[in-house]
Structure 1
Amino acid sequence: MQFGDELLGVLRLSSRTVWKFSEDEKRFLRAIATRAAALLAGDDPQARLRHTLRTFESLIEASPLPILSIDRNGSVQIWNRAAEELFGWQRHEVVGKSIPLGAQDLEEAARIRQEIDGGRVIRNQEVRWKRKDGTHLDLALSAAPLRDPASAVSGSIAILVDITDRKQREEQAEKTARFREHFVGIVSHDLRNPLTAIVTSAQLLLRYGELPERQARVVARIAASADRMARMIDDLLDFARSRLGGEFPIHRRRIDLRQICEQTVEELEFAYTRQVKLEVYGDPWGDWDPDRMAQVISNLVGNAVQHSEGEVEVSLRGEKDFVVLETHNRGTPIPREVLTHIFEPGRRGTDRSGGLGLGLFIVQQIVLAHGGSIEVRSSESDGTTFTVALPRKGRQKPPQ
């Protein structure tokens, strides 16, 4: 606090919670410091008193937050500009009268007054009060008793913070969480259970039914379609978790990525009756979720096999802190207009792509959840290459 060239003191302000001051609040604090310095520099006690009263009136009026004061009888004595803007009532409509609240709001205000009359200071109590237009506001109220010269409580002064937006976000987050749990429960239980029965029955028929060749082909098609639907359900669950704010489940343990690659590539070769060239260089060990890694490899290699006629190449390269997985095929390149959005949900590389268009989106989320990165290059001359870099140690990033 400075008056002319003389430093008179220091104004210090602290908060119980993390708070970033707005420009309006900074100007308000500077005004307090300036007024306090002027008071400290004055000599005439009466002048200082008048100056003090004007100062606090100015500060209350300039406050970016609503400030109001009521006397012992509940009549409004102070109603600043911010209170006018927030509630809609002008000063002349409320000063000297009771706070214009609804019946339920008045009951809450009466309880607060009773606590203040008992000398208690209230900090950040959440209240819900009505505006002039009938809408309600969620507010954080801090209030303290005012005392007369005999130290008896003569009224109270309160400052309010509008937390309506925050409360709405919290309510929306709760609704989203309830919807997520409901959706995941339906998909994982109500859809998966009958599908499991279909898959199991089809497999038993193929194994023990001694079916004629034509009927066996039909049952095999049923089993394959049911397996595909099961994968779509898994994709839907992962998509729901990532988009509705749930945790993307990752269970790390130390694994050999070469073994996961070999097993997954062998399954794909059998399913598509195609050869896939797999090459491994360096140390392929690291801390990853084995099931999620199989999901990444199956999706990338499966896409390469489906969208190419020639050789599909898969390489696994161990570096100092990372293991790099690459898939390459010489099929029709991904169109340029699709390439920039290829990892977005619902996108497909070609019109021949089946499923829900969630595969590459989920692959990206798995890679990000492991702290890694994924990129794609595609051209007529060089073919299509997906490159995944996975840190050996856990360095988790939140899925997007």
Structure 2
Amino acid sequence: MPSSSPIILNVNDDLASRYVTSRVLSLAGFQVLEAGTGGETLALADEHTDLVILDVRLPDLSGLEVCRRLKSSPRTRNALVLHLSAQAVGAAERAQGLAHGADAYLVAPVDPEELVAQVHALLRLRRAEREVRVLSDQVQQQRRLLDLAMSAAADPIALYDGDGMLIFANHAVAASRGSHHVHVPGRNMDALRTLDPQLEPYALSLEAARRTGQVQRGRVTLSSDQGPRHFEYTMSPAAGPSGAVEAVIATGRDITEVRNAEDFREQFLGILGHDLRNPLNALSMSAQQLQRQGEMTQRQKVFTERILISAERMDRMIRQLLDFARARLGAGLPVVRSRCDLFDVVRGAVDESSASHPHREVRLELLGDGRGDWDADRLEQVVGNLVSNALKFSPPDTPVRVVAEATAKEALLRVHNLGVPIPEDQLPHLFAAWRRAGRSEREQGVSAGLGLGLYITEQIVRAHGGTVQVTSTEAKGTTFTVRLPRG
């Protein structure tokens, strides 16, 4: 059993010298064991021995050989060895002793205080070495667990150094690509993109993460043994003390099934919207024909008007479905530019909205010259969607304000309404598909749409090279701002 005090093995074949040394160490609080030969030393020393004070010249084995054996044995290799000799005192002998593994060398006779101080110094060294070993073992264990966890992770994980060299890629990276797998540690990103050009957008994101130190996110489609696979990835750079990026960890997620489901839904919606138009047109034309024929009772007129209003609303929904399908399945909504006056477009959309809401006030202000190259029909959708949205979500006794302003470089459209603001946490997602304005208090009693109006609005504006933004507060109300570069 190990003692609470350090265990020292004092080895000397001279009884008097051994007694003096043991006495000094015992008085200093150490637990001392004694041996007179090399054989006894090797028999007594074990894993609990902290220090061996070893004479160089012993009757059976050389102290140098004993030291070598102690240091080479798994049981005693961590024990410190202090050579203490009154005979082997030359510089060459001291150097030889240290070369055979001794940790220190003293020439006898030695002052007791110096001996105790030297022993304390060596034991401090041993404690430090033990602490280092414990910490090293802990680090190695943590590293092993980290490597194991990263290797076993279900999602792809890759680690790059500051120069873009691949340091680590887990099993999921290889499994996701099969025979197309090129992520082999030791390759830099240039080599990877050369081997697999499909990695180009991924490589550009890695370069941006290294250059800016900011997290990069994106999507990439890659070939695999199972066909095309779609991945979302996040690249998180780690900066060192100097601020330079020293590592980038990339994590991925296979979204192939989700993407395929989205594509199917969008194709289905496009087909459905197209096929619904024929029976809807027949329904609408029949109702219009009934109106033109006259000779209907008042009740019949009310029903016919309801049919036309519902058909118009269904037509708007179908147009939105078709626009959505075009935007998601193609390269955005197509625009056909021609010379037109944006102010005429805005005025026409506002007049139509006012006619549909005769009890509401829509204020229109036009500033500058609105002539330019735009798709008038598409921009009429933008204005109509924004004004309709403002009327729908504002108190009935408040006006909606529309301002169109043209400068030399761009045209601006602002649509403002008062009322309950859009929750701040919903603002970043307002232009996503299938989301309505999200103002629950304002939606009470309001007929719900498909949630595509603002999505389509942004797609049309982007197709013109412009932007659309929104601000919404309790004090100032809600304002949608569209900026269009002059075509």
What TM-score, normalized to structure 2?
Answer: 0.45
Preserved CA contact (<8 Å) 2:349 2:380: yes
Report the counterpart of residue 98 of structure 2 in structure 1: none
Report the counterpart of residue 376 of structure 1 in structure 2: 470
> Are 1:232 and 2:317 counterparts?
yes
Cα distance in 1, alignment partners of residues 177 and 368 from structure 2: 65
Report the counterpart of residue 164 of structure 1 in structure 2: 224
Q: Structure 1 213/377 Cα, relative in aligned 2: closer, same or farther at 3 Å?
A: same
Cα distance in 2, alignment partners of residues 167 and 365 from structure 1: 30
Preserved CA contact (<8 Å) 1:374 1:387: yes
Cα distance in 1, alignment partners of residues 458 and 402 from structure 2: 18
Cα distance in 1, alignment partners of residues 335 and 262 from structure 2: 22
Cα distance in 2, alignment partners of residues 218 and 379 from structure 1: 41
Describe the SS at the equivalent of 2:429: coil
Q: Structure 1 377/175 Cα, relative in aligned 2: closer, same or farther at 3 Å?
A: closer
Report the counterpart of residue 386 of structure 1 in structure 2: 480
Preserved CA contact (<8 Å) 2:332 2:459: no
Report the counterpart of residue 312 of structure 1 in structure 2: 400
Q: Structure 1 182/328 Cα, relative in aligned 2: closer, same or farther at 3 Å?
A: closer
Shift of 1:136: 11
Q: Show structure 1 runs of 4+ deviating over 6 A.
A: 170-179
Report the counterpart of residue 185 of structure 1 in structure 2: 271
Q: Deviations over 1:270-322 (max 9, x none)?
A: 11113311110001112211111010000001111122221111111011210
Q: Structure 1 167/213 Cα, relative in aligned 2: closer, same or farther at 3 Å?
A: same
RMSD: 3.6
Cα distance in 1, alignment partners of residues 464 and 302 from structure 2: 40
- Out of 289, 293, 298, the residue aligned to residue 375 of structure 2 is 289
Cα distance in 2, alignment partners of residues 339 and 270 from structure 1: 30
Cα distance in 2, alignment partners of residues 210 and 222 from structure 1: 17
Q: Deviations over 1:85-135 (max 9, x none)?
A: 989xxxxxxxxxxxxxxxxxxxxxxxxxxxxxxxxxxxxxxxxxxxxxxx9
Alignment of 1:1-400 (within 5 A): 164=224, 167-169=227-229, 183-188=269-274, 190-273=275-358, 274-308=360-394, 309=396, 310-349=398-437, 350=439, 351=443, 352=446, 354-393=448-487
Q: Deviations over 1:37-95 (max 9, x none)?
A: xxxxxxxxxxxxxxxxxxxxxxxxxxxxxxxxxxxxxxxxxxxxxxxx989xxxxxxxx
Cα distance in 2, alignment partners of residues 216 and 288 from structure 1: 40
Q: Deviations over 1:213-268 (max 9, x none)?
A: 22212211111111111111111112222233454211111210111111111111
Q: Structure 1 175/303 Cα, relative in aligned 2: closer, same or farther at 3 Å?
A: closer
Shift of 1:200: 1.3
Cα distance in 2, alignment partners of residues 226 and 212 from structure 1: 21
Q: Structure 1 377/353 Cα, relative in aligned 2: closer, same or farther at 3 Å?
A: farther
Q: Structure 1 187/219 Cα, relative in aligned 2: closer, same or farther at 3 Å?
A: same
Cα distance in 1, alignment partners of residues 327 and 416 from structure 2: 28
For structure 1, list consecutive stretches of 5 or more residues without a partner in the other structure: 1-21, 28-84, 88-134, 141-159, 394-400
What TM-score, normalized to structure 1?
Answer: 0.55
Identity of aligned residues (%): 43
Preserved CA contact (<8 Å) 1:180 1:246: no
Structure of greater relative contact order (alpha carbons < 8 Å, 6+ residues apart): 1
Describe the SS at the equivalent of 1:376: strand
Q: Structure 1 321/203 Cα, relative in aligned 2: closer, same or farther at 3 Å?
A: same
Cα distance in 1, alignment partners of residues 353 and 322 from structure 2: 23
Report the counterpart of residue 37 of structure 2 in structure 1: none
Letter of the 1:232 counterpart: M
Describe the SS at the equivalent of 2:285: helix
For structure 2, list consecutive stretches of 5 or more residues without a partner in the other structure: 1-159, 166-172, 182-194, 197-221, 231-255
Letter of the 2:485 counterpart: P
